[in-house]
Structure 1
Amino acid sequence: MNDVTRIDYTGTGLSEDEVAATPWVQAKRWVDDAVERSGAQADVPEPHALSVATVDQNGLPNVRTVLMRFFDERGPGFLTNTLSTKGAELADNRGIAASLTWPSMFRAIRFRGQSVLLDRNEVSDYFGSRPWGSRISAWASQQSQPVASRAELETAYERYAARWPDRGQSDDVPVPDFWGGYRITCTEVEFWGGRTNRLHDRLVFTRVREGSLDDASAWSLSRRQP
């Protein structure tokens, strides 16, 4: 490969003296920083963009980007069509990996663990908070399935829009049975901080017992080489 562009990372990294006592507190700090940067400096356009990796029945990995819509001491969560490719793969193999990456901040968080279906009440509450058009799209799109044209997709949208017109209410559009989400029950959480000369920091919390992301006794901290 010719004319390689090289950028030296100028992040401040993350040291053992700075890292929080639990992966939850450290992750929340970095997520909050990214959200602040999305407005203050506008160089993190989508702070909750979460890359999610699953594995198909042949052992081949798939990765795609979703939005992290839930995040608390239980782990990060996202919404999707559960009949999609990711939903089918998670039904067959609950193993999952995901990452939040903020290039302009020279930071990333990596989560590994098992997927758990979100509680139906959480799904319904979130669905009702979505814009009306997004709720219609959830019905119109048979996510991951082939479609002949853009026009076919837009026709499906108009059909459902006519069925459930926008009345400005959270229950204008019913929640599809196939629309749900997943939370990642983490076994490992890694914090990556970019530094100069490619000597990056990688601090990893590894689960050693049952407990939430905010239970310090459930985690062991170690450093890995970059």
Structure 2
Amino acid sequence: MSKLSDLRKSYEQGELDESVAADQPLSQFRQWLDQALAAEIPEPNAMTLATVNAQGRPSTRIVLIKGFDERGIVWFTNYDSRKGQELAGNPHAALQFHWVELERVVRIEGVVSQVDAAESDAYYHSRPLDSRLGAWASPQSQVIASRGVLVANAAKAALQHGLSPQRPPHWGGFRLLPQRWEFWQGRKSRLHDRISYRQDEAGHWLKERLAP
């Protein structure tokens, strides 16, 4: 068995130069996400969400992007979960996509807010029935005695709400408004490409190369 310290990989899938990277980070993100979807890599919509609690301690988890535009990056979850409570106390957060097969990483930092109720309702009602009932059944991030608690809660939710459950008031969307982006493309000899975008005081995006 190989030791972790012996593992090596040469990154040679692509390159990213500031002269060809889009002037707007959202355009660059759309291009890379479309390429990840076209490559049919596993779960190209999965992203790591990092939040910080009141004691300044960070935590991460995987969530799924469900939309994006000039207003920001959107995902849906339980507002009473650990991440929901931490975002309520500190709205600054970070997202990261890691598309291993393409040797690419996208990092996004910004401020998070809840999406409006109509947007949360629309997405909730687009979900499969078992997922809609699951939002009622799971007291996310709380300690439970066993999986049987979830099964019992799901059965209770099905009896109570039937085939047309309404969105739970504790469940809905978040939107991160980016303040900083970074696009990382693996390159040979660890001389990776890193293109950063940050906003100046006027709100214009500044594109810069970072040392790997």
Q: 3-state SS of the aligned residue for 1:13? A: coil
* 1:35-114 correspondence to structure 2 within 5 Å: 35-38=37-40, 44-114=41-111
TM-score, normalised relative to structure 2: 0.95
Aligned twin of 1:215:
none
Over the aligned positions, Cα root-mean-square deviation in angstroms equals 1.3
Uncovered stretches (5+) of structure 2, i.e. residues with no partner: none
Aligned twin of 1:5:
7
Deviation at 1:83, TM superposition (A): 0.7
Uncovered stretches (5+) of structure 1, i.e. residues with no partner: 39-43, 167-171, 212-217
In the alignment, the residues of structure 2 paired with residue 108 and residue 84 of structure 1 have an alpha-carbon distance, to the nearest angstrom, of 27
Equivalent position amino acid for 1:28 in 2: R
Deviation at 1:18, TM superposition (A): 1.6
* 1:201 pairs with 2:201: no
Deviation at 1:11, TM superposition (A): 2.2
| Partners of 1:11 and 1:196 within 8 A in 2 | no
What's the % identity of the aligned pairs? 38
Q: 1:143 aligns with which of 140, 144, 150?
A: 140
Aligned twin of 2:128:
131
Q: 1:186 aligns with which of 171, 178, 187?
A: 178
In the alignment, the residues of structure 2 paired with residue 210 and residue 139 of structure 1 have an alpha-carbon distance, to the nearest angstrom, of 44
Structure 1 moving runs of 4+ over 3 Å: none
Aligned twin of 1:214:
none
In the alignment, the residues of structure 2 paired with residue 75 and residue 190 of structure 1 have an alpha-carbon distance, to the nearest angstrom, of 15
Deviation at 1:224, TM superposition (A): 0.7
In the alignment, the residues of structure 1 paired with residue 202 and residue 57 of structure 2 have an alpha-carbon distance, to the nearest angstrom, of 30
| Partners of 1:13 and 1:192 within 8 A in 2 | no
TM-score, normalised relative to structure 1: 0.89
In the alignment, the residues of structure 1 paired with residue 206 and residue 142 of structure 2 have an alpha-carbon distance, to the nearest angstrom, of 42
Aligned twin of 1:224:
210
In the alignment, the residues of structure 1 paired with residue 23 and residue 152 of structure 2 have an alpha-carbon distance, to the nearest angstrom, of 52
In the alignment, the residues of structure 2 paired with residue 128 and residue 155 of structure 1 have an alpha-carbon distance, to the nearest angstrom, of 23
